[in-house]
Amino acid sequence: MTARDYFRSVLQLLTTSAVVTGQQITFDEQDVYVAYLKGSISLTDGSTLFFAQYVRIEGAGNDQIDRKKYRYHWQAPDGRTRCRWDNARHHPGLATFPDHIHVGPNEEAQQSGPADLWQVIGQIEKEI
């Protein structure tokens, strides 16, 4: 898999999800196997998922996706945070450090394993 293949798989996810009504994505290919993706995804309930991820495709068959940095910020129509998954290194006390989730408008940080766009869209599909 190349970075472009990964980008195509992201587009496929978003065009086939029943909760996605539109998207704007910037794809910055930095190398055949490295890219930065950033965008916003409009959802059926009026909320928006903002995301950014720096990915490196690795492994013997180039099939392992290493998300060096990621942020998936799900925002309600009124601007309040619903959830934000990220791996910013600002909660070292959590067992899943650096991966974590911020929940609700108070953005309470909680333990969470590594996240990807497929998991986040899946969670949103369950909640909408």
pLDDT of residue 63: 79
Kindly report, residue by residue over 21-44, the tens digit of the pLDDT: 999 999 999 999 999 999 999 999
For residue 102, what are the β-bridge partners? 84, 109
Q: What is the pLDDT along the chain (128 residues), one digit of tens a residue?
A: 999 999 999 999 999 999 999 999 999 999 999 999 999 999 999 999 999 999 999 866 767 899 999 999 999 999 999 999 999 999 999 999 999 999 999 999 999 999 999 999 999 999 99
Predicted TM-score of the model (pTM): 0.94
Amino acid at 79: G
Give the DSSP H/E element, type plus range, for residue 104.
Answer: none
CA dihedral 16, 17, 18, 24 (to 10 degrees): -100
For residue 65, what are the β-bridge partners? 57
The pair of structure tokens assigned to 121 is 């869209």
The pair of structure tokens assigned to 22 is 């539109």
Would you give the DSSP letter of residue 114? -
